Structure 1
């Protein structure tokens, strides 16, 4: 899903700055949430980004993804594996015949 050279670029960025010691699972989870809130802020009061600033949206989305990649790396989990596993669970929880054209949350 994410090329290994991209993951290695993120790892090198962290290593060069000696930031690994700050990257605990709790800190990573907090950072993901903070960056996701910054992404959400781009759409506050509208379904379009404030001032049409899609570049800012892209930057905030990248920040969320970078922290997610860092957390997966820290935990030693394979992103493809956990995504496919979750999609299998979602498919069982939201079968097409019951979920199509419905935004209702499954019980």
Structure 2
């Protein structure tokens, strides 16, 4: 992603604020696909080729902006994810989980 953006001289626009805003917009476009679907329709969204294409396209946009933001901020995305999973494992231990929690 960094090479792609650099080849187009987009670095001047790829500030943390702009990338975070773009990420939010793309996540909203992904959400829009599911906005008025029932849970059953949402679960079957990948069964329709047109819907599946739209979902994959928006997921790719979300991932691209996430990776670009990580690049600009110097975040190792996989390291950050592993650390978050470790924290969540301590916060939410596996096993029976009370529904009222």
Residues 1:38 and 2:36 aligned together: no
Q: Which blocks of at least 5 consecutive residues in structure 1 are unaligned? A: 1-9
Instruction: Give the TM-score, by structure 2 length.
Output: 0.82
Q: Which blocks of at least 5 consecutive residues in structure 2 are unaligned? A: none
After superposition, the C-alpha distances for 1:69-106 in whole angstroms (9 at most, x for unaligned) are 00011111111110000000111111113538x5x7x6
CA spacing shift, 1:31–1:99, aligned 2, 3 Å: farther
* Larger relative contact order (CA 8 Å, sep ≥ 6): 2
Alignment of 1:18-37 (within 5 A): 18-37=9-28
**How many aligned residue pairs are there?**
94
Which 4+ residue blocks in structure 1 deviate beyond 4 angstroms?
none
Tell me, in whole angstroms, the C-alpha distance in 1 between the residues paired with 2:34 and 2:4.
29
Q: Give the aligned CA root-mean-square deviation in angstroms.
A: 2.2
Q: Counterpart in 2 of 1:69? A: 67
Instruction: Give the TM-score, by structure 1 length.
Output: 0.78
